[in-house]
């Protein structure tokens, strides 16, 4: 397994619980060095009037993530099933007439009021949704018996040796060798796989920055405006969740910057997130304007990986030319909602099990959809 983030740890967990022995290689020195270091994020479904593929897979993905969190994490500290209110800005999100889904519905007047939005504000309520601290989930998945993690391993090459794949470092030294290799190193996957014959998955970088601060710095008036649950719709706002230092904090973001391969924290993105909060929750945004001063606000930035149609790539890359090689990446800003499901899809395929999704959905995620003729 190459990559120990949300995607890689999810695949490793799903294989290990099926009895596989998994060695995970990562160039970082510990958990959460990449996009999986996001301090807090949401597991929440995408909705669309036609109940498109993205909506259907995120619904299944959120359910898988919440089940995994319930199994491995501590509720209230590492994750929480809070429900999420979606402020339907510009009418972008509408429920289909009939999906059979009982977990998303128009928000009630009481829920809209609790979020501090004016009566009649268009909004949806996702009952089966909540916040997760990704680093906690990654760490828990990597601690599964059968998973060995080797940090500080920068993979530079992959080559076929007989019936196995070997991964090597910049000096050509072998870091690992096995019949199967799964690449789950986000946008770094592109440089690693591009030299291989037939590889044509159009991976793109997506930089995102989150702004956050400490609850202790908010005054009483600001605290009274805080919604009792996360709100999304133009980025997302979460409060009462531990910051990286462990004290309760608030979080707003993230920004979306395409075709950027670096992820520094930028002052202008704190400004963008302040505007984002003012759009999402106007009264709270006005009240918290001072919290975005440079001496108060903190930031985290990471590089996600996405594809043009916003659907991830999962499973064998090319069974003919690259037998035994799989990919699990391209989840964009929905890694929390999709990584566990994609891990299950990958493991089910390698273990010759029926996939956890209908075939009509699974084929939309298959990495082999990009195989060159």
| 203-214: average pLDDT | 96
| 29-36: average pLDDT | 90
pLDDT of residue 260: 86
pLDDT of residue 372: 62
Does 254 sit behind a cis peptide bond, omega within 30 degrees of 0 on the bond before it? Answer: yes
Angstrom distance (rounded) from CA 47 to CA 45: 6
* Cα atoms in the 13 Å half-sphere on the side-chain side of 318: 15
For 211, the token pair is 């702004």
pLDDT of residue 357: 95
CATH number at residue 102: 3.30.9.10
pLDDT of residue 40: 97
- Give per-residue pLDDT as tens, 93-135: 678 776 555 789 999 999 999 999 999 999 999 999 999 999 9
| 303-313: average pLDDT | 93
Nearest to 324 by CA among 350, 347, 344, 345: 350
| 337-364: average pLDDT | 96
**3-class secondary structure per residue, 254-273:** CCCEECCCCCCCCHHHHHHH
pLDDT of residue 214: 96
- Give per-residue pLDDT as tens, 48-76: 999 999 999 999 999 999 999 999 999 99
Angstrom distance (rounded) from CA 188 to CA 199: 14
Say yes or no: 346 and 356 in one domain. Answer: yes
For 316, the token pair is 């064998």
Residue 348 lies in a domain: yes
Say yes or no: 356 and 301 in one domain. Answer: no
CATH number at residue 335: 3.50.50.60
- CA-CA-CA-CA torsion sign (148, 151, 155, 161): negative
Domain boundary residue, one of 276, 306, 336: 306
DSSP H or E run through 344: helix 335-350
Residues across the chain: 373
Domain range for 279: 84-128+205-306
Nearest to 202 by CA among 190, 192, 186: 190
pLDDT of residue 34: 87
Residue 99 lies in a domain: yes
């Amino acid at each position: 397994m190459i990559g120990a983030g949300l995607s890689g740890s999810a695949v490793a967990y799903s294989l290990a619980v099926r009895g596989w022995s998994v060695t995970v290689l990562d160039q970082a020195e510990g958990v959460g060095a990449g996009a999986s270091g996001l301090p807090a994020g949401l597991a929440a479904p995408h909705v669309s009037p036609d109940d498109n593929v993205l909506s259907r897979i995120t619904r299944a993905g959120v359910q898988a993530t919440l089940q995994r969190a319930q199994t491995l994490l501590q509720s209230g500290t590492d994750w929480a099933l809070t429900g999420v209110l979606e402020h339907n800005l510009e009418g972008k999100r509408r429920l289909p007439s009939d999906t059979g889904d009982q977990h998303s519905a128009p928000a009630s007047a009481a829920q809209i009021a609790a979020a501090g939005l004016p009566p009649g504000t268009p909004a949806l309520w996702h009952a089966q949704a909540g916040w997760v601290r990704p680093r906690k989930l990654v760490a828990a998945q990597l601690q599964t018996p059968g998973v060995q993690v080797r940090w500080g391993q920068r993979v530079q090459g992959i080559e076929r040796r007989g019936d196995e794949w070997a991964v090597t470092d910049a000096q050509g030294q072998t870091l690992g060798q096995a019949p199967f290799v799964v690449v789950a190193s986000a946008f770094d996957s592109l440089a690693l796989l591009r030299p291989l014959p037939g590889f044509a998955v159009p991976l793109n970088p997506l930089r995102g920055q989150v702004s956050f601060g400490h609850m202790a710095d908010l005054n009483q008036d600001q605290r009274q405006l805080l919604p009792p649950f996360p709100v999304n719709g133009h980025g997302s706002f979460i409060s009462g969740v531990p910051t990286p230092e462990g004290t309760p904090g608030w979080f707003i973001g993230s920004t979306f910057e395409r075709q950027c391969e670096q992820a520094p924290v930028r002052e202008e993105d704190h400004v963008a997130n302040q505007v984002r909060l003012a759009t999402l929750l106007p009264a709270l945004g006005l009240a918290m304007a001072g919290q975005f001063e440079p001496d108060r606000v903190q930031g985290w930035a990471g590089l996600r990986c996405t594809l043009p149609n916003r659907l991830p790539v999962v499973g064998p890359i090319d069974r003919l030319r690259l037998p035994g090689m799989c990919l699990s990446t391209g989840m964009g800003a929905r890694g929390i909602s999709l990584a566990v499901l994609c891990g299950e899809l990958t493991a089910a395929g390698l273990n010759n099990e029926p996939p956890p999704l209908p075939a009509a959905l699974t084929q939309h995620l298959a990495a082999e959809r990009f195989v060159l003729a």
